[in-house]
């Protein structure tokens, strides 16, 4: 019984992470298609704010993938930081 509950909770977690990654990717695609002029045609710290948004959202996705699918949340604190922060 406990094993079945554990599998169910893992399946729910995988679907939640999948939904989150899908949402973030959807936002990226929408910004890529729409390219709002205030974000695309201005410059901030050497590039457009739209590029900064893409960069930040990509790092968020990479962090989420590392955290859940590479099981970093179950590792020791120093090991998690050495892997995730160096990214």
Q: At 4, list the tokens.
A: 């079945």
Q: Which residues contact 64 (CB under 8 A, 6 or more apart)?
A: 17, 20, 21, 24
Q: What average pLDDT values come out for the chain (87 residues) when binned by 10 residues?
A: 65 91 96 91 90 93 84 84 75
pTM of the model: 0.75
d(CA 71, CA 17): 13
Q: What are the backbone angles phi and psi of residue 2, rounded to the nearest 5°?
A: -65, -35
């Amino acid at each position: 019984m406990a094993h079945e509950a554990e599998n169910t909770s893992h399946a729910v977690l995988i679907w939640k992470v999948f939904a989150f990654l899908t949402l973030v990717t959807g936002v990226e695609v929408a910004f890529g298609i729409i390219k709002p002029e205030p974000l695309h045609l201005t410059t901030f710290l050497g590039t457009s704010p739209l590029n900064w948004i893409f960069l930040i959202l990509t790092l968020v996705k990479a962090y989420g993938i590392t955290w859940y699918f590479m099981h970093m949340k179950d590792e020791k604190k120093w090991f998690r930081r050495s892997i995730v922060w160096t990214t």
